[in-house]
Amino acid sequence: MDNQEVISLPIFNRFKPHQIQQIKPFMEFCSFPANMVIFEQGDRADNFYILTAGEIVLHYKPYDGPSLVISKITPGGVFGWSAALRRAIYSAAAVTISEINTICIKASNLQILCANDPETGALFLDRLVGVISEKLQDSHQDILSLFSFGMNLNSDCKRRMNLNGSENRIFA
C-alpha cells in the first residue's frame, strides 16, 4: 500500500507525508478470507486493525443470551480497538463477511510511536478517537433496533424512540 492509499483512509487524512513515514514501520498489511474469525470475544487484545477493503461484523455475546451482531465495519473503519485502549481482552468477536485487507498495528507500538514522535503519536491517537466516536454515533440506531426487536411497540413509543434515525430524539 503506497502513501497515497494510506492517506486516503479517514484515520490518516490529516497526516503529512513525513508522518506517514513515521508510522509505516508499525503497520503490517494483512488479508483474511471470507467467513473467518479474526479474534473471539475474550481473546487477548494485542492488535487493532484499520480496514482497507471488504467488510466485517462484530459479534457480542452477553452472558445471558445469544450472540448479537453489534456493528458492521466497512473500509476506513477500525476494529479491535480494545487493544488500542490497552484492555487485556477483546470485548467482541470480529468475523469477516467478505475477503478483507487490513492494516494491523500492535497496541504496544503506539507507546513506541508516542515516545519516538510525540506529534505524530498524538495525531494518530486523536484521529483514532475521531473514527471510533463517529462509529459509536452511527451505532446508536443499530443498538436501538436491537432493544426494540421483538417488542410490540405502539406507534407513539416508536415515534419517541425515533427509529427512523433522525437526530431529534425525544426522551420523555
Judge whether 149 and 65 are in contact, CB under 8 Å. no
Quick one: how far is CA 2 from the chain centroid? 22
Q: Please, what are the domains in the chain?
A: 3-138 (2.60.120.10)
How do the pLDDT tens digits run along the chain, 172 residues long?
A: 676 788 888 888 888 888 888 889 999 999 999 999 999 999 999 999 999 999 999 998 888 888 888 889 999 999 998 888 888 999 999 999 999 999 999 988 888 888 888 888 888 888 888 877 776 665 556 655 655 555 555 555 555 555 444 444 444 3
Amino acid at 82: S
CA distance 11 to 28: 16
